[in-house]
Amino acid sequence: QVQLVESGGGLVEPGGSLRLSCATSKSIFSRYAMGWYRQAPGKQRELVATINNGGTTNYADSGKDRFTLSRDNAKNAVYLQMNNLKPEDTAVYYCDAYLSWGNLRNDFWGQGTQVTVSS
């Protein structure tokens, strides 16, 4: 059974920072790209950022210049550094491991971690 173990969520004031972590098995991490999505109450899940095996990152406009996604191949983990957080960043953040080939895609999801930005 594939597991994605997330950590790092919490309550932070506007302008603050958080770092989310997501760890998985070596067999998944070596083959799958990784990403973070978020879902706010009453809204659809949306992309935050992705990183492929080569380290190439892609960010949603909402997080550009504030969020940085990185991967540690030795620890089979990815890290989402979030700076200058805003109340609109409040959501449950989900780690995603995905593999795409042709029109097919396979995803594994973490359990989610709550991020609340509030004064």
Per-residue pLDDT of the chain (119 residues; tens, 9 = 90+): 779 999 999 999 999 999 999 999 999 999 999 999 999 999 999 999 999 999 999 999 999 999 999 999 999 999 999 999 999 999 999 999 999 888 999 999 999 999 999 99
CA end-to-end distance (rounded Å), the chain? 39
Cα–Cα dist 37/16, whole Å? 20
Q: What value does the mean pLDDT of the chain take?
A: 96
Would you state the pLDDT for residue 22? Answer: 98
